[in-house]
Amino acid sequence: MKHSPCSRRRFISMTTAVIATGITPGIVLAKDFKPTAKQAEGPFFPKHKQIDTDADMTTVSGVSGKASGEVLLLKGRVLDSNGKAIANALIDIWQADKNGRYLHDDAPETSPLDQSFQYWAKIKTDEDGRYTVKTIKPGKYAAEQDWQRPPHIHFKIAKRGMRELTTQLYFANEPLNSKDKLYLETPADQRSSITVDVSNGEATFDIVLARV
């Protein structure tokens, strides 16, 4: 079968782009590197002084026991719009516990805090732009009388030379997603960038930042 010059040039161009970005052919193409959708920070960024902010949110230093809930291993990469890995990006991750309670005085859910849950992690990507955090799937909570927020996890990513991104991660197939005001504010064609599938207790959340 003969290939047209146009097809051949397009293949060479795509191959060159893949080699330049270090991405394995067939896994992801340059056209997929669109900035991750923004989301509101929300009112519950941790304000309490917290000594333990490592990548294992299921335990707290000096406290016995494990956090209640469904354990989730969350991992991914932070990339720029060309697919280049961003090393040493600072990632703040905060969320509610199994019962939908935040570590915040104004949290709407009033159930007791889980003393074995960390609530907030502050980590950095490695040289390949990778990060891993062990946490639990958060619970839902009532934001307003007629609005119940689906399970979600907050992210804030910062790196010099890149636009700081604040967003929220959602879980696929959650019924409350289709009714959530913040999720629906994101254009339909961008929601996949903030929605993950969970399989065998693991999920991958790759984050793409725009350059300044």
Question: Catalytic amino acids?
Answer: 102, 141, 149, 152, 154
| Amino acid found at 166 | T
Which residues, 6+ apart, have CB-to-CB distance to 195 below 8 Å? Answer: 169, 170, 171, 172, 177
* CB contact at 8 A, 191 and 37: yes
Burial of residue 208 (number of CB atoms within 10 Å: 0-12, 13-18, 19+) = buried
CA dihedral sign of residues 26, 31, 35, 39: negative
| Through-space distance between the first and last CA atoms of the chain, rounded to whole angstroms | 46
Which residues, 6+ apart, have CB-to-CB distance to 171 below 8 Å? Answer: 137, 150, 151, 152, 177, 195, 196, 197, 198, 203
Pairing assessment for the beta strands 71-80 and 202-204 based on DSSP bridges: parallel
Measured CA to CA, the distance from residue 166 to residue 172 in angstroms comes to 20
